[in-house]
Every structure is written in structure tokens, then in C-alpha cells.
Structure 1
Amino acid sequence: MLTLYRPGTGLWHRLPAGPKAAVLMMIVLGVCLLPVSYTSAAIAAAVCVVCYTVPGIGPRELVRQLYITRWILVVTVAGQLLFLGPEEAAANTMRVAAAVVLSGLLALTTPVSELLDALERALGPLALLRIDPQRAALVLAVTLNTLPVLAGLARDVREAQRARGGGQSLRHFAMPFLVLALKHADALGDALTARGVR
């Protein structure tokens, strides 16, 4: 399974998965509860910079995460500017950016096995509702790891188009991307079936 995890020895890497997820969730919640203002946007940006400049990650990774999510941020700021003012657009877009990059920090510093164990423990109470916590955790972990795989497939298709001298046509992009995505889903399904997951 492809993962975003980057081995390291920094503070975020040393924290156990459960407490780390709780800390990051509280930081994201704190940023989202800030009042709508330019000051809140600046605070959200500063929080992201501080979290990523902890030894073991670095600001370069923050820039990379923002670049990966650029289209989400463009759509967010465009929609906000269309219906709200510039101050609201800045604050809300920075909230979204902070939530995305801080969530990415969890995936970057936590191996999938640890993340899966922490999710399973957190979802333990679902057993009272006759929902298997192991399966629920596996679904969440697979979802988290499938998104970067699909982003990588999209990048590969675009690079192949450029290498062949093709344009940026959505029609020529969609079919090969869909075929590769379905092949990945089929391979993932086979791997899960081979491990006894139904």
C-alpha cells in the first residue's frame, strides 16, 4: 500500500499515533473556531508554519503540501470571493489550508500500521452498535492511502500526455485515468480478499 509516511526522528515522528492525532485535531479545531478576519488567516498560516518547522519535517514539506492542494485552495478562494468578501475568503481559505496540511502532517509522520491501530482503538465503541472497529479502521486507512495513489496516477497520465505531445484535453485525460484507477481498485480488492477481508 502506497503511503505518505516519511521516516524521521523529529518530535512529530516520536509522538504515538493516538495522542498525535488528538493534538492535531485540537489544533485544527482551534484554527477553525477563530473569528473571521485577516488576523485569523495570519494566525492559521503561522500555526501551519510552526507545526512544519519542528525538526524532522521542514518548511519545504509545507510548501509541497500546499502545492499538492493548490486546486482545492483555488476553488475554495474563488467560491468564497464570489459569495463573500475578501476578508471572509482569506480567513476561510486559510482554515481549509490549515486543516488539509495539518492532516497531511499526521500521514507524513505516522506509519500506516500505527495509524490503523490508533483508528481501531478509537473506533472501539462502535462494537456496541455491531460495527466491526477493525473493518471501519481499515476502510478509513485505505481511503487515506488511496487519495495520494489517485493523485500519483493523475500525474502519471498528465506526464504521459505531455511526452506524447498531447494537449490538456479533459477527454484524453479521463479515459486513461479511469482505466488506471479501476485497475488499482481491482488490485486493492484482490489484496484485501487475499488477506481475508470481505
Structure 2
Amino acid sequence: MLTLYRPGEGRLHRMPAGRKTLLVLALVLGVSLLPSSWWAAVVAASATLLAYVLAELQDGMLGMRELARQVAALRWILVITIVSQLVFLGPEAAVANTARVAAAIVLSALLVLTTRVTALLDALERGLRPLARLRLDPQLAALLLTVTLTTIPTLARLAREVRDAQRARGARGSLRTFAVPFLILASQHAFELGDALTARGIR
């Protein structure tokens, strides 16, 4: 399984996977429940900045370099979000909702960046064991959640690679020229992931 884990010795790296998962989920939920107002956009941005600083990612800029990478990889998603929101909801709701979406995604990326897939899978499996009473497989549920968490930053990385390749060729940036190669790479990743899961007997 593709992992975006980056080795480190920071505070978030040292935190147990289970506790870290609960913390990140609480942050994402808190940001998602903010109202569609100007102050909510400020809170979402501030919470994200603070989280990356406290994570101690050791990127030489108090986590800001990694945060900039994550946001830059999402730029087309954010453009589509804010444009569609501006059309239907107006500027305040558009800015607030886009800020909340961006904050939720980049905050969830912290979990993947600072936790090995095996540790994350084990923590989720332990947390989902009560589902066995409902005749649900906690191992399969944990695997599906882990795949979901790792897919979001993976798609962001693919988007960044597409843009870097276009810039290297001197191509002008546009949504149309970006969408086609991005969808091809995303589909290829989905097929490869499906083949890997099938090879492990998961259908």
C-alpha cells in the first residue's frame, strides 16, 4: 500500500497512533462544524497553522513548508469549491466553506504524514473491535478507513505531480489540461490499489 509517511522525531510522531487518530478526528470534526462566517474561516486557518507548528514536522520552517505543499496540491479543488460556492451562496459562505474544506483535508494529512500505515491500521482495528458484536469485520473496516485516509493525500500528490510536469513543459495552466491527466493518474492508482487488495484476498 502506498504510504506518505515521513520519518521524524516530532511531538506528533511520538504520540501513540490511537490517541493521535482521536486527536486529528476531533480537530477535523471541530473545523467541519464551524458555521459559514468570516470568523469561522479565520478559526479554521488558525487551527491549521497551529496544528502544523505543534506537530514539529522539522521541515525547517515550523511545519509551514509542508503545510504550503498540502495546500498547493489542493489548489484546483479549492478553486472549484470557492467558485461554485460564490455562485450559489455568496462571498462569506464561499470563503468560510472553502477554508473549512481545506483545513479538514490538510489536518487529516497530518495523521498520514506522521503515522506508519501498520501502526494506523492496528490502532483502527483495536478501536473498531466492538463492531464484531454486530457481525462486522473490524480488520476489514480498519483497512477501508486506512485506505481512505491515505488516498486523500495521495490524490493531492498526484495533482502536484501533474502541475509540475505541465510547468516543466511550459504548458499554460488550465482546468481542462489539468483534469484529463489527473483523472488518468487517479484511475491508475485506483486500479493498482484494487489489484493490491485483491492479491491479499480482499474483495
- Scaled by the length of structure 2, what TM-score is found? 0.79
Would you say the 8 A contact 2:82–2:94 is kept in 1? yes
Correspondence list, 1:11-50, <5 A = 11-50=11-50
Q: Which moved more, 1:77-86 or 1:147-156?
A: 147-156
* Matched AA of 1:56: L
Q: Deviations over 1:117-149 (max 9, x none)?
A: 111122222212211110121122233334444
Shift in Å at residue 169 of structure 1? 9.5
Whole-angstrom CA distance in 1 between matches of 2:138 and 2:109? 23
State the one-letter code of the partner of 2:3. Answer: T
- Superposed, which structure 2 residues align to 1:1-16 within 5 Å? 1-16=1-16
1:144-193, CA deviations, whole angstroms, 9 ceiling, x for partnerless residues?
A: 33444455556666766777888879599748964x66655554444434
Structure 1 counterpart of 2:57: 56
Could you tell me which of 90, 98, 105 is aligned with 2:110? 105
* Identical residues among aligned pairs (%): 59
After alignment, is 70-79 or 157-166 more displaced?
157-166
What residue number does 2:92 align with?
87
Change (3 A) 1:63 1:197: same
Change (3 A) 1:70 1:164: closer
Structure 2: distance between partners of 1:140 and 1:88: 30
Aligned to 2:122: 117
Give runs of aligned pairs for residues 48-197 of structure 1, distance below 5 A.
48-54=48-54, 55-57=56-58, 58-150=63-155, 152=157, 174=180, 178=184, 184-197=189-202
Q: Does structure 2 retain, via aligned residues, the 8 Å contact 1:157–1:173?
A: no
More moved, 61-70 vs 162-171: 162-171
> 1:9 and 1:48, CA in 2 relative to 1: closer, same or farther beyond 3 A?
same
Please, which runs of 5 or more residues in structure 1 have no aligned partner?
none
* Alpha-carbon distance change, 147 to 86 in structure 1, aligned in 2, over 3 angstroms: closer
Give the residue type in structure 2 aligned to 1:8.
G
Letter in 2 for 1:109: T
- Normalising by the residue count of structure 1, what TM-score does the alignment of the two structures yield? 0.80
Q: Which runs of 5+ in 2 are unaligned?
A: none
Q: Which moved more, 1:32-41 or 1:184-193?
A: 184-193
Distance 1:79 1:109, change over 3 A: same
Q: Which letter does structure 2 place at the counterpart of 1:95? A: R
Out of 33-42 and 15-24, give the one that drifted further. 33-42
